[in-house]
Structure 1
Amino acid sequence: MKKIKIAYIGGGSKQWARVFMYDLALVNDLCGEIGLYDIDIESAKRNKAIGENINKAPNVVTKWDYKVYSDLDSCLNNADFVVISILPGSFNEMRVDVETPIKYGIYQSVGDTAGPGGVMRALRTVPFYEEFAKAIKRICPKAWVINFTNPMTICTKTLYDVFPEIKAFGCCHEVFHTQDFLCDVLKEEKGYRPNRNEIYTEVSGINHFTWITSAKYKDDEIFDYLDDYIDKHFKEGHYEHGSNEQYKTDPFAYANRVKMDLYKRYGVLGAAGDRHLVEFFNNNWYLKNPEMVNEWKFALTSIDFRVNQMYERIQESKDLASKKKPIELKKSDEEAVDLMRAILGLTSKISNVNLINEGQMPQIKLGSIVETNAVFTHDSVRPIMAKPLPEAVLAQVNRCQTNVETLYEGIKNRDLKTVFASFVNQPLCSNLTLEDAKALFKEMCEKTKDYLTVYNLDDLNSL
C-alpha cells in the first residue's frame, strides 16, 4: 500500500471535498494524510470531522489521517499531490459576474469560464494561482498538482507560466457526461449500453469548449448512429441523467438540444454540457433571452439558487460532522483518485485532461492550454495526438483560445487595457457597442473592486 500526503487547497469545500474523500476511502492501495487548507478554516475543520467519521463507516476500506493547516506552506510540506479547488471571491462577486451584463442584453448560463463573467472570475483567480505556483515551487516542486477550479484553462496556464517545471494538469468531468449521452445513443440504436469507461472518445479543444470527433465501442463507431438518433430526438432532446424536462427544476440539467444542433452543423459533438457550450458562441445563437434559453431546454443558473444551495451544503456538512446525518460511503463517477493511482504506478489510465499544448493539438498555438486525451502512467502524464477539428469549429476554438491568451497577458502584467481587449472580443459580447462594452467592464470592475486590489482601477479611465 502506497503512503502519500495530499495537500488540499480549498479544503473547506462544501461538496467536492466529500466526493474526493469518499473515493479515497474506498481504495485499497493508498493511505496517508489529507492536509486541509482554506481561508475559511472552520469549513476545513468540519471536513476534518467528516473525514474522521468516514473512517468509522462500516464499508470503509482505507482510513486517512485528516489534518487542518492554518498556513499554506505547512500544508504543502512533503506533499506528493496538491489538489486545488477554490471559489475566487464570494457569491456577491459572482452575482456581479452574472447579473450586471443582463442590462446590456447578455445572459449567461454559468458565467465562470467565458463571457463577461469568465473574464471577471479570471481577474480574481489568477493572482491566487500565481501565489500557489510560487509556494509549490518553493515547498514541494516534485508534487503532482491537480486543478479543479474554473476558469480551468487560465488557472492551469498560470501554474505553468509561474513555474514552468510544475507537474500540473486540469481535470473536468464535462466530457464524462457526453460519454454517458453517447452510451444512451448506442443503447437505443443497437440495443446494448456499455459503461462510459468502455467507450473511447477522441477529444480535442479547450475546457468547456471541448469536442468529440469520434466515439467507439469495440468495432462500433457511435457517430454512425448519431444522424438517425438526432433526427428522432432533436425536438424533445435527451438528458443522459434524467428527464428531458429536468432543466425546469434543476438548473444544472439540459436536454442536449444545443449539442445536437452543433453536431448537425459541424459533424463533431460538443463535449461539455449545453449550458457551458452556449457561452462560447454569439449571444444571439442560444442565449438571446430567457425565452430562447427555454426553447433550447437548458437553464440560466441563478445566483439565488447557488446561495440557497450553499446554505444547504453548509448545513449538510454540519450534520455529517456532528453525526446527525450518517455517512453513506459510495464511489463517485469522478476520476481524480484513479488518475493519482496511475501516476503512482498502481494502474494506467487514459482520460481527458488540460495540459500545455506540446503538439497534441497542432491546429492550436503551442504552449497554450488545451484539453485532449492523455495517458496516465507511473510519474507521467503524456498527451495523445488529437484528431483535427473541422475548420469551422477550429476558427471558433482559436478565437476563444486567443481570448484566454490575451486575458492572461493582461492579468499577468496588471494591464486592464489588454484585459478589456479580451473582454470585448468574447463571443457573448458580440452585439455590444464599444462604448457599452467599456461601460459594462468598468461597472463590473468597480462592483468587485475589493477582490481586484492588485490592479490599478484608475487605468479604466484610459480605455
Structure 2
Amino acid sequence: MESEIGSKTDGSATASKRSDQVENIKIGYVGGGSRGWAYTLINDLAQCPTISGKVVLYDRVFDSAKRNERFGNWVQEREGAVGDWEYEAVEERDRALDGADFVILSTQDPPPETMAHEIDIPAEYGIHQSVGDTVGPGGTVRAMRTIPVYRDIAAAVREHCPDAWVVNYTNPMTVCVRTLYEEFPDINAIGCCHEVFHTQEHLAELVGKYRDTDQPSRKEIDANVKGINHFTWIDEASWRGEDLHPLIERHLEEEIRDRSFEPGSLDGESYFVDNELVTYELYERFGTFPAAGDRHLAEFVPWFLTPDDETEIQRWGIRLTPSEYRIDRQEDALSKFHDPMNGEEEFEFFDSGEELVEIMHALLGFEALKTNLNLPNRGQVSNLPSNAVVETNALFTDDSVTPLASGELPAQVHNLVSTHVENQETLIEAGFSGDLDLAFRAFLNDPLVSIPMTEARAMFDDLVNAVRPYLEDHWDFENASAVR
C-alpha cells in the first residue's frame, strides 16, 4: 500500500483512467449477516455497471449470511439492477477470504446484549452514554471484546488474501483498524466512516441557506479533516474557493443561539436526533469545527453527559439511546429484507451516499477519489503519535491510497484528542498482552469516568464480568488486580 503523505490540496490523479469493465472481482464479507452495511452494499453494487463478480458472505450466524445471499441474488433480478453480482453464503471464513480482492468487515460477533450491559452498567454508576461504541466505559469494554476478534481476522487475511484491500466499518473504528495493523503490519486496511459526510452536508446546507444558490452536493465541500474517528475536526472548509467560516459564524448567531430544549421535550423524537448544539458549543469554545454528530462528540468530553439528572442531557438537543432499542432494532431491521421479497413492500433502489463502490473504482484504476478515512499516522496529523490510527483525507488511485497531510491539531483541541489516542494505544498494548490492569488504566483515564476511584474500579469489575465469556480466552484474569 502506498504510504507516503500527500499535500492536503491533492485532489486528482495524473495517471490515465481505466475505461474497460472489470470482471471476476471477489469480495469476501466478514460479518456477511449484517443487517445494515450489507443491505447498503447490495443496493450499491446492483447499480454499478463497471465492476462485476462475486460476494462471499461469512457470518458466525450462518442463517444471517444465508438471508443476505437470498436477498442479494433477489435484488440482482430487479428491474434497474445493472450490476452483475452473485452472492454466496459460506460456513467457513476461509472460503470467504481465499483469493479475495476486497474484504469487507462489519462485524458484531457477541449478541447485542453485550452492548446493553455496556450501556446499562455505567448508567447505574451515574455515567450516561449517548452511543457507547467508541469511548466512555462502554466503548472501552467494547474495544476489549473487539481486539481479539480483529487480531484473528488480520491473521486470516495474512494467510488467505494478504494483498486484498480490507475495508472496515465496525466500531470502535480506531481500535479495529489499529488492531489489524498491529497484527499484520503489511495489511492494506482502511477504516471508513460517514460522520464527516454529514458535516459536509451541513455545510452544504449553509451554502444553500445563506447564499443565493441551490444547496450543493456535499462533495462540493472541500474540508481539511484531522483527528480520530468520531472526534474529527475541520479547520479549513470551502465551497468553490469560498471560505465557509463566515457562514458557520452567521449560523451560530442567527440559528444556534436561539435553540433551547427542556428536559423531556425530545421524548417523542428519534434517538438519533441531532440539533448541533454540542458541535457549535465546541466550535465556539475551541475555534475549530467538529466533524461528527453530537451523539458521538458528547462522549469524548466530560461536559454534556454528566448531569445529576439524566433528563438534563436533552438540553443539548440529544437523546440517550436505551439498551432495549439496541436489542430490539436487530429484529426490526429484518423487515427491509423480508418484506420486499414477500411482496409486502415495493423495493426501490436508492442513493446510499456511501462510497465503497467509489473506493473500489478508484483502487481498480477508474476515477481517482479524495475522501476521509482512518489509517495509521505517518505524519498526516503532525502532532499525534506515529502509527496511532487517525482520520484525515486521503487520495485513492490505482491500487494505492495516499493519506493527505492535514497539519497540526490546535493546542487545546490536541489536548482533548490526545487523551483518547493514548487510551486507544494503551488498549492495544493491553489487548495484545492480555493485561487487564493496563486496560483498567485506559478505562480510568477516560473523561467520562468521573467518579471516585473505588466506584470506577467496581464499575470496571461489573462490566468485565458481564461480558467475561467474550474475554476470558484472551485476557489474563488470574493475575489481574483490577477485576475480582
So what's the TM-score if we normalise by structure 1? 0.95
Q: Deviations over 1:369-413 (max 9, x none)?
A: 000000000001100000322111011101110000011111110
- Whether 1:5 and 2:26 are equivalent positions in the alignment is yes
Q: 2:243 aligns with which of 221, 224, 231?
A: 221
Matched, 1:95 2:116: yes
State which of 457, 465, 472 in structure 2 corresponds to 1:446: 465
Asked if 1:200 is matched to 2:219, the reply is no
Question: How many Å apart are 1:236 and its aligned residue?
Answer: 4.9
Q: AA paired with 1:84? A: L
Instruction: Give the structure with the higher percent helix.
Output: 1
Q: Distance in 1 between matches of 2:272 and 2:81?
A: 30
5+ residue gaps, structure 1, are 239-244
Which deviates the most, 303-312 or 92-101? 303-312
Task: Quote the residue 1:232 is aligned against.
Answer: 254
Deviation at 1:456, TM superposition (A): 3.1
What amino acid sits opposite 1:119 in the alignment? T
Tell me by how many angstroms 1:323 deviates: 4.7
1:272 and 2:328 correspond = no
| 2:86 is equivalent to residue 65 of structure 1 | yes
Tell me the alpha carbon deviations over residues 42-98 of structure 1, each in whole angstroms, 9 at most, x when there is no partner.
111111111111111111111211111111111111100000001142221111100
Contact map agreement 1:8 1:84 (CA 8 A) in 2: yes
Secondary structure of 1:227's match?
helix
8 Å Cα contact 1:247-1:253 kept in structure 2: no
Match for residue 343 of structure 1?
A: 363
Q: Percent identity?
A: 37
Match of 1:173 in 2: 194
**1:46 maps to what in 2?**
67
Residue 227 of structure 1 aligns with an amino acid whose one-letter code is: E
The reply on whether 1:123 has 2:144 as its aligned counterpart is: yes
The counterpart of 1:148, out of the listed 166, 169, 186, is 169
Give the Cα separation in 1 of the matches to 2:176 and 2:313.
29
Secondary structure of the 1:365 match is: coil
Distance 2:283 2:398 in 1: 37
Deviation of 1:306 after TM superposition, in Å, equals 2.2
- The reply on whether 1:331 has 2:344 as its aligned counterpart is no
Residue 149 (structure 1) shift = 0.3
Counterpart Cα distance in 1 of 2:378 and 2:320? 36
2:49 partner amino acid: N
Report the counterpart of residue 412 of structure 1 in structure 2: 432
Please give the secondary structure, in 2, of the residue aligned with 1:31.
Answer: strand
Residue range with higher mean Cα deviation, 179-188 or 346-355: 179-188
C-alpha change, 1:198 and 1:450, in structure 2 (3 Å) is: same
Once the two structures are TM-superposed, the CA of residue 329 in structure 1 deviates from its matched residue by 1.5
Partner SS for 1:50: helix
- Alpha-carbon contact 2:304-2:313 (below 8 Å) kept: no
Q: CA deviation at 1:462?
A: 5.0
TM-score (norm 2): 0.91
How far apart in 2 are the matches of 1:188 and 1:255?
A: 17
User: Of 375, 378, 388, which residue of structure 2 is paired with 1:368?
Assistant: 388
Separation in 2, partners of 1:326, 1:8:
26
Kept in 2: contact 1:339–1:376 (CA 8 A): yes
C-alpha distance in structure 2 between counterparts of 1:349 and 1:121, whole Å? 32
Corresponding pairs, count: 455
Q: Report the RMSD for the aligned CA atoms in angstroms.
A: 1.6
- Corresponding position of 1:33: 54
1:245-394 → structure 2 map (5 Å cutoff): 248-282=268-302, 284-288=303-307, 289-394=309-414
SS in 2 for 1:8: strand
Separation in 1 of the partners of 2:366 and 2:136?
41
Partner residue, 1:14: 35
Q: Deviations over 1:182-223 (max 9, x none)?
A: 111122221322110011011000000000111111121111
- 2:457·2:482 contact (CA, 8 Å) conserved in 1? no
Q: Which residue of 2 aligns with 1:241?
A: none
What letter is aligned with 1:73?
A: D
Kindly provide the amino acid, as one letter, of the partner of residue 253 in structure 1: V
Alpha-carbon distance in structure 2 between the residues aligned to 1:398 and 1:109: 21
Q: What letter is aligned with 2:244?
A: I
2:9 aligned partner: none
For residues 266 and 197 of structure 2, what CA distance do their matches in structure 1 show?
A: 19
Change (3 A) 1:246 1:372: farther
Residue 286 (structure 1) shift: 4.1
1:322 to partner: Cα distance: 4.2
Task: State the 1:21 CA deviation.
Answer: 1.0
Question: In 1, are the aligned partners of 2:377 and 2:387 still within 8 Å (CA)?
Answer: yes
Larger relative contact order, structure 1 or 2 (CA cutoff 8 Å, min sep 6):
2
Preserved CA contact (<8 Å) 2:115 2:326: no
**Which segment is superposed worse, 309-318 or 60-69?**
309-318
SS at match of 1:64: strand
Structure-2 change in CA distance of 1:462 and 1:155 (3 Å): closer
The 3 A distance-change label for structure 1 pair 246 and 29 is farther
Query: Does the CA-based 8 Å contact 1:53-1:327 persist in structure 2?
Result: no
CA distance in 1, matches of 2:268, 2:410: 33
Contact 1:320 1:326 in 2 (8 A): yes
Q: 1:83-128 CA deviation, whole Å, 9 max, x = no partner? A: 0001142221111100101121100000000010111111111111
Which of 183, 186, 191 does residue 162 from structure 1 map onto? 183
The alignment status of 1:104 with 2:121, answered yes or no, reads no
Counterpart-to-counterpart distance in 2, 1:8 and 1:237: 43
Q: Secondary structure at the match of 2:88?
A: strand
- Cα 1:17–1:180, aligned 2, differ >3 Å: closer, same or farther? same
